[in-house]
Structure 1
């Protein structure tokens, strides 16, 4: 490899002509100026506001404005006054003095009719009760047995028995209402009537319990 030997600096400066040095200096200044302009352009470009390409302006003829007619002033609203309710005059009862004379006469009013008595509706008529019977032929009630001792001792008498008869016609209770005077005759009458059948008492169409008096006579034939 061959080495290139440059001449000394003083020799080279002497070799350059004065015109070349001036051209070089001018080129350097221009390069610096262009570089500075480029930097300034780039920094300012973003801040520039683009204006519209053209703005058209048209003059319109002046229109004379007519003054509006003056509006009449409205009167201020009247305050509303609430009407107080008018109190109706109360009738005044004038009492005539004893000495004053009346200008009209009042006809005498007829006396008020007496209150009519309230008539209660009539109560329904009670249904009659048909008493129980013991003397019907179809009952076939046997006669009391005359006690033999009473026959020998000639005991006679009449016994009244009070019998409570059921709605089915049986004797519920037999009591001596009046004695014959002989206990044997009374006992024979009670013993016979206790087994009797009866026609029950009736209230309308309904059979009801009732009481009946049964006379039993003991006498010699």
Structure 2
């Protein structure tokens, strides 16, 4: 008679059973010896104390600024001006009577003759030749060099026009000295002179005067 060995399924079930028994036996052993309690204490983490902090109470809102009513200044009415009592007499002045014109027909009006235009002012009188004019600055002639070398001498008579301000405006030769150089030197000297204005009826007037200049050598 042949005896067969255990099947694979049976061996597996036997192994699981044996493991379960071993685990229970070990757990019982640990529980009896106190090692399981120490292991639990070792695994448990340290307790963290958490305190609940209440949020801060909300700050009271600042009081709203007080509204101060604006007092409007009372309107000041200026006092009225003093009343003026004006008395007017209740009199009516009748309008003046208008004179009644005559019924006679009026004569035709005659044309007024046109007035003649005023004559233009007369031109000022031409300057006249006078005497007695005074010098403010007398002529200072320069003797021409060529005339000195040639020995020229003579008297030149100049007709000089003097303005209302006493300034010479024109000098012409009224009588020659016989030398053109001496005549020109005399004319230049007369134009550089200065005269006192000639007065007539209290007013300065333009006049002519005769100015003699003598050129001579010593």
TM-score by length of 2: 0.39
TM-score by length of 1: 0.38
